[in-house]
Structure 1
Amino acid sequence: MKRPGPLLTLLAGLLLAVFMLSLNATTGVRNASSSRPRTPGTAPPASATPGKSTSPPSPSPSASPSASPVPNADYAGRTDDDSSAVAVSLRDGRAIAYFCDGHDKESWLKGDVRDDGTLRLTGKNGAGLDGTLRDGRRIRGTVEFGGRHYAFTADKAVKPSGLYRATATVRGAELDGGWIVLPGGRQVGILDRDGEPSAAPVIDPETGAVTVDGQKLTARPVTP
């Protein structure tokens, strides 16, 4: 048997060399890909959660200030010309007022009070009262009566100041009395006997007691 010659040995060596070169080339490409540095800031963004908006929440509108509530209170005062007195009682958005000069002029008026403190009250024979509540402490306004206008200021009243009324039948006569007790204790009132007005007798503002034609009556605070 003949031994392989030098040519066969050389061929085997070449094949081995080609194989090793191919293996090194493949490994180098793979290592280069895995070791390539990642550029900072190129990380893929996180995916948004389905169904959720990424918009910032809209600011809620600020609540509008509410109007100050109209107090339940009584007010009493004089007209600017000092000829008459005015008293107003406010309860739950309703108002009743009394205007009188203590002799023969008087009017009962009523109506609503608006949330802004303005009031427009009406009475018999075209009488009216326009006023504005100021800071809950006083009412400034005008009374229209008998074709004239009487400007007035009525301050918040503290008991026993305020508005009082008494009705009764005495000796067959229908009596209707109205009283305004002013701050300081002064009283202005009219007593009607069957529709005939005259100055009212003085009442006890602590109890409302009053004597008319020998009969004791009780004048009570007036509220709407």
Structure 2
Amino acid sequence: MKRPGPLLTLLAGLLLGLLTLTLDATAGARNSASSSQEKPPGPTPTSSTASPAPAPAPSASPAAPAPPSPSPSKIADASYAGRTDDDSSSVAVSVRDGRAIAYFCDGRSKESWLKGRVLPDGSMRLTGGHGAALNGTLQDGSRIRGAVDLDGGHYAFTARKAVKGSGLYRATATVRGAKVEGGWIVLADGRQVGIVDREGTPSSAPRIDPETGAVTVDGQPLTARPVLP
């Protein structure tokens, strides 16, 4: 009996090698499938070098509050007295707490009491009976420049700040059964202009004592007092 030849030995070796490779490939495929089933997919890996987070924008500094509006200057309480430009009449104005009362008088028969407000800029529009009006402006706190419209007449005037004893006075009373109302304007030089109205009938007023306001009307003593709004 003959021994197998070298060719058979070689073939047997090749077959054994192929079988070994086949078994290794099969085992690798199984291991790969098993690994893919056991490990769930994870998040996509990101680069280890992360971009730095942007710096927060600087917050705007709060706006400074607007400065408060200056309050209008207060009109000082005072009295003013003067003459019209044509020197026919006198005008007196008393100002208190932003209100004003005025008296226009020619010392014979024409008169009017007027009142209203004084605006912060010193301007004023005062009104009285029968459509009378006074428009004026306080200038430098020392005088009032304006005009009175009365009975179709236009009377420009300047009334200066009153000194002690001058200004606007008024008295009301019942004398001998009649209602009496008197108005007086005392000027800085001591002159007086006034009218006493007796039940609607005007006439020149007697002089008053500026120190006490004492006056006698139709034989009856009265007291004229400074006028305040």
Short-chain TM bin: 0.7 to 0.9
| One-letter identity of the residue aligned with 2:176 | R
Compute the displacement of 1:63 (Å): 3.4
1:138 maps to what in 2? 143
Normalising by the residue count of structure 1, what TM-score does the alignment of the two structures yield?
0.74
| Distance in 1 of aligned mates of 2:203 and 2:74 | 38
Q: Hey, what does 1:84 align to over in structure 2? A: 89
Distance 2:218 2:126 in 1: 33
Once the two structures are superposed, the pairs formed by residues 1-224 of structure 1 within 5 Å of their partners are 54-224=59-229
SS of equivalent to 1:125: helix
Gaps of 5+ in 1: 1-46
User: In 1, distance between residues paired with 2:113 and 2:98?
Assistant: 17
> Secondary structure in 1 aligned to 2:72?
coil
Deviation string 1:41-100 (CA, Å, 9 cap, x unpaired) is xxxxxx98xxxx653453443333332211111111110101000000111111110000
Larger Rg: 2
Identity %: 70
Cα distance between partner residues in 2 of 1:99 and 1:160 = 19
> May I ask how many residue pairs the two structures share in their alignment?
176
C-alpha distance in 2, partners of 1:185/1:68? 32
Q: Give the TM-score of the pair, scaled to structure 2.
A: 0.72
Distance (Å, rounded) in 1 between the aligned partners of 2:171 and 2:63: 62
5+ residue gaps, structure 2, are 1-54
Query: Counterparts of 2:210 and 2:126 in 1: how far apart (Å)?
Result: 26
